[in-house]
Amino acid sequence: MAQITASQVKELRERTGAGMMECKKALTENNGDVNAAAEWLRKQGLAKADKKADRVAAEGRITTASTEGKAVLVEVNSETDFVAKDSNFIAFTDAVAEAALGASDIEALKGVALPTGETVEDARSALVAKIGENIQVRRMARIDSTHAVSSYVHGGRIGVLVELKGGDAELARGLAMHIAAMNPPYISPAHVPADFVAKEKEIALAQVKDTGKPAEILEKMVSGKVAKTVNELCLTGQPYVLDTNQSVEQVLKAAGAEVVGFVRLAVGEGIEKQEDDFASEVMKQAGLA
């Protein structure tokens, strides 16, 4: 059996991120062959990664990549905010975003090869083994357009893509920042579903019907209430965050621009986070509950 040297252990640790004892065992199992030991560790790590797959990963990072007429957002989740700030995790998410430029959807993205030669899915599994948390490439959003496409990511937590017809790059970025801050569900009143408007009219009418006012006055009151609600939900009706003296609609009109579409992703939205009650858990284990 080949003698395992400290330099071999050091090289394997640097390549895999595994612990010293695990590296020594891997080298022993593989007769000192560093490449075979790395593969052996990978296989062991993948087995551990499978056990972590059912753990809730609601933290993480949103990142973006773009090229001419195309931009993407990708959400990669981790279990903790600490790991989301890890340099290995950040490098992985950046690489995944670049890979997403060549993928049609999230499932296709998992099979895209990274510059290392690994697929996104293989690299994810290796990172799970290295870091020790469940990591998931959860979502991607992509806009391909002949119009200008701008992206903005706020603190790694919120990402926005905006497709803008007319205007300039500065306006597109400003709008992306606005959407990140205000989270409008719709572009303009024309995009608001008719059934939502009908329901709002029904609610508004119920609120004013017993005021004793004439029907035509009630109609104006209802229309005003509905219009206010709709405007608050629409990008164009909101005060522009970079100049609150103007609405977004006024800013767009002055620039001769039109928002064709946008998408906004926030880390962990829609994921039910697990709430740990450590006090109850300790009491239960101690037989006190």
Task: Spell out the domains of the chain, with CATH numbers in brackets.
Answer: 6-52 (1.10.8.10), 55-144 (3.30.479.20)
Q: 60 near 78, Cβ under 8 Å?
A: yes
The predicted structure's pLDDT at residue 25? 87
Specify the DSSP class assigned to residue 198: H
The predicted structure's pLDDT at residue 64? 97
Over residues 207-237, the pLDDT tens digits come to: 777 777 777 887 888 888 888 888 889 999 9
| The token pair that represents 58 in the structure block | 């609601």
Question: Which of 265, 271, 257 minimizes the C-alpha distance to 142?
Answer: 265
SS3 of 214, please? coil
63: part of which helix (H) or strand (E)?
strand 59-67
**Residue ranges in the chain modelled with pLDDT below 70:** 1, 16-19, 44-56, 272-289
Cα 53 to Cα 43, 79, 277, distances in angstroms:
16, 11, 22
Cα 159 to Cα 5, 80, 97, 234, 252, distances in angstroms:
47, 19, 12, 18, 21
Distance CA 288, CA 70 (A): 59
Q: 109 near 139, Cβ under 8 Å?
A: no
Residues facing residue 169 across a β-bridge: none
pTM passes above 0.85 = no
In this structure, how many other beta carbons lie within 10 angstroms of the beta carbon of residue 92? 24
Angle in degrees, CA 224, 225, 228, rounded to 5: 85
Q: What order of strands is seen across the sheet that includes strand 136-144?
A: 59-67, 70-78, 136-144
